[in-house]
Amino acid sequence: MQNSVLPTNDPVDVEERKPRHRQSGKGRYEDTTVSFADLGLPKPLLRALADAGIDSPFPIQSATLPDALAGRDVLGRAQTGSGKTLAFGLALLARLDGGSSAPLRPRALILVPTRELALQVSDALTPLAKSLGLWCRTAVGGMSFPRQAEALRRGVDLLIATPGRLSDHVRQGTCVLDSVQFSAIDEADQMADMGFLPQVREILDLTDRDGQVLLFSATLDGDVDQLVKRYLHDPVTHSVDVATASVSTMAHHLLLVSKQDKADVITEMAARDGRTIMFVRTKHHVDRLAEKLRSVGVRAGALHGGKTQGARNRVLSQFRDGDNPVLVATDVAARGIHVDGVSLVVHVDPPADPKDYLHRAGRTARAGEAGTVVTVVTHEQRRGVVRLTDKAGVKPEHTRVRPGDAELVRITGARVPSGEPVIDTPPPARPPRSGHAAPRRRRFEGKREFEGGNPRRREHQPRDRDHNGEHPREHAPRRTRDFQPREGANRAARRSGLPRGWREGDRRGADRG
């Protein structure tokens, strides 16, 4: 076992010995010195892991699980894509085994910064929770609040939530946190960057004061340190990676281009074979670039925070399935989005700081897979990007390229797009749900084009026909209007000599008659 509980009262940084690794069939590197069975997990969890094809733990999992299972507060620092989800997820599920939850009162809580990360954590842990007979649910923004409230009312063992939506449930009385004995905080540094720490503190203040807290992040500095001092008791810190880019299977490149050539270089890189993620800064630029790529034959999807949750899920599903091999995104996809086989990450717009660079780059070369990270730089941007990569611990290869250059093809696999616009097929219409009648057909089935006037007026409606195909009133004598004297007929009509009840407009008809 790699790490035992340390008999100390101060937070410590445990130096890990380098484990021996072997490469699995999926291209990932696994620790062969420790197995999940050696870590003391419940047998149903071991069977569920074996059924999922997960045989050996990654270094962060074998390092943190012994302390977490022993009830210690844990700080886990590891590079994104290193297996942190199972590191805290398995610990929480094992600790929950054998208990039961009360309505509205979850027993364990996982806080994550984004909806996409929450859904990804749920997808990873729900099958494992079912093996223990535990209920795992999510509470995130952009999805049905009443459905989440109903799930909480039925009882939830492990709740995966974003701070904003969970705060809403607490205020509405649909979630009570005083029974939460086990808490995990994932990507704590991103929560600090996004301004979520006040909400995180309010949430943790409502949980059991003697409960266990697991905090995992790529970096453990700044405001995260204040969170650690306030809520973690006698924590053990496990760090298996430094907070710089040190993945040996990741190649970094700076492509120096002119402003005139930048758009064509990006288009040729997008037209390559394989999954590609392109990062830009603004939502407007995401939509504009994705639309341009589709207009020249590149199947690209757009992902940013301005889209509805359904649209974001659909775009990610198409990217995972390979229907759209290119994902154009803002930094909303820089963390928590795990898709196998992403071989190229392109910084179309350079990131704002070294952390953003590392998290964007972390979408490729995950857990031993090979990948390439490219930053497209103009002459004016070169000096700032070099300083940024130095702070991130990256020494990229500098290459000046133009559209169609052999070096561009060697580094990224770029090629000229087909030029045929991508046309999306509309989704098939959904049949009516069971127990619901089909929508009624509209009575009007006639021609829809009208020269003018209101299409709802009677003269535009198709007339019924008799058995001879003729209108029944077509040959009927024309009905004449019977004018009856009105009470208080106007004086103008009397002066004109017209009968009482006649209006001024009827004079013309009388004259014609």
DSSP 186-209: ESHHHHHHTT-HHHHHHHHHHS-T
Task: Supply angle C-alpha 62, 234, 90, rounded to 5.
Answer: 30
Residue 240: C-alpha distances to residues 121, 133, 191, 471, 488 (Å)? 21, 32, 22, 88, 100
Question: What domains lie within the chain, and their CATH numbers?
Answer: 12-239 (3.40.50.300), 250-412 (3.40.50.300)
Tell whether the torsion through CA atoms of 453, 457, 459 and 460 is positive or negative.
positive
Tell whether the torsion through CA atoms of 264, 267, 271 and 273 is positive or negative.
positive
Amino acid identity, residue 177? L
- Which residues lie closer than 8 Å to 15 by C-beta, 6 or more apart? 239
Per-residue pLDDT of the chain (513 residues; tens, 9 = 90+): 333 333 333 433 433 333 333 333 333 334 446 789 888 899 999 999 999 988 889 888 999 999 999 999 999 887 666 788 999 999 999 999 988 899 999 999 999 998 888 998 999 999 999 999 999 999 999 889 999 999 999 999 999 999 999 999 999 999 999 999 999 999 888 888 888 999 999 999 999 999 999 998 777 777 888 899 999 999 999 987 555 544 567 899 999 999 999 999 999 999 999 999 999 999 999 999 999 999 999 999 999 888 887 888 899 899 989 999 999 999 877 776 778 889 999 999 999 888 889 888 888 877 567 899 999 999 999 999 999 999 988 999 999 999 999 999 999 999 999 999 998 766 566 666 555 555 555 554 444 444 455 545 444 445 555 445 555 554 555 555 554 555 555 555 555 555 555 554 544 444 444
Task: Name the β-bridge partners of 68.
Answer: none
8 A C-beta contact, residue 89 and residue 112: no
User: What pLDDT score was predicted for residue 201?
Assistant: 94
Tokens for 33, please give them. Answer: 């010195």
Task: Supply angle C-alpha 249, 253, 257, rounded to 5.
Answer: 160
- Which residues lie closer than 8 Å to 300 by C-beta, 6 or more apart? 270, 278, 289, 290, 293, 294, 324, 326, 327, 328
Tokens for 144, please give them. Answer: 């049905």
8 A C-beta contact, residue 63 and residue 2: yes
User: What pLDDT score was predicted for residue 93?
Assistant: 97
User: What pLDDT score was predicted for residue 167?
Assistant: 96
8 A C-beta contact, residue 376 and residue 341: no
Residue 392: C-alpha distances to residues 156, 173, 274, 356 (Å)? 40, 44, 26, 9
Closest by CA position to 326, among listed 357, 289, 378: 289
Q: Is the pTM of this model over 0.85?
A: no
Cα 102 to Cα 238: distance, rounded to the nearest angstrom: 34
Q: How far is CA 320 from the centre of its chain?
A: 12
User: What pLDDT score was predicted for residue 12?
Assistant: 37
